Amino acid sequence: MNDSDLFSLVLDKDEKIIKTFRPRKSRAWFSAILSIILLCIIFVPLIVFGFIDTEPGALSTAIGGIVFLVVFSVIMCIMIALWCNKTVYAVTNKRVLIRTGYIGVDYKSLDYSMVGAFTVNVNWIDKLLRKNTGSLSFGSMASPMTNGTVAKFNFTYIDNPYEIYKEIKELIDDSKSKKVN
């Protein structure tokens, strides 16, 4: 099954998939592992030095804190693996679609006519990895952009974000100009 087939349930009769893409897994994993390392750097010394003293039970409290960090890290890794495997982005002749989920499958769509703002973001991690990745954010009248981010309509960790931005921007502009005429 190709990625286009994953959207067959939500496509209109006259709607065609133009392009599909997935988030780059290495970029998602890098962010997750970096977050886990930062949490450990911050909390392990606090747990170890904050609880180890002469009182009985202090060592077991420290071990409990470390076990919590390990369990949290494992859960975070499982969630990243599930997200990477289920997330697919699509661009059609009418709208952008996002297929995602952890256990089930969720679909989000945004018609081109509703796009009010559209941004591309390549942050320091993307630049550090030198993999030409970034994120696209779509703002609409239903979910306006605040501080350059949108909660619901993001294409995260995609390859060639500037090229994809140009392609989608052209589709949006063409769609809006057809509605005017």
In tens, the pLDDT along 91-126 reads 999 999 999 988 888 998 888 888 888 889 998 888
Contact yes or no for 148/137 (Cβ under 8 A): yes
Is the pLDDT at 174 greater than 60? The verdict is: yes
Other residues' Cβ atoms within 10 Å of the Cβ of residue 157: 24
In tens, the pLDDT along 10-60 reads 999 999 999 999 999 989 999 899 989 988 888 877 776 665 555 666 666
Contact yes or no for 157/27 (Cβ under 8 A): yes
Is the pLDDT at 149 greater than 70? The verdict is: no
Tokens describing residue 173: 């502009």
Tokens describing residue 132: 């030409």
pLDDT attached to residue 48: 67
What does each C-alpha distance from 49 to 21, 43, 52, 54, 146 come to in angstroms?
Answer: 46, 10, 6, 12, 40
| Overall pTM surpassing 0.75 (yes/no) | yes
Q: Cβ neighbours of residue 79 under 8 Å, at least 6 residues apart?
A: 102
pLDDT attached to residue 44: 76
Q: State the DSSP string of 15-81.
A: --EEEEE---HHHHHHHHHHHHHHHHHHHHHHHHHHH-SSSTTHHHHHHHHHHHHHHHHHHHHHHHH
Q: Cβ neighbours of residue 135 under 8 Å, at least 6 residues apart?
A: 120, 121, 122, 123, 154, 155, 156, 157, 158, 161
Tell me how long the chain is.
181
Rounded CA-CA distance 15/133 in Å is 28
Average pLDDT of the residues in 152-181: 86
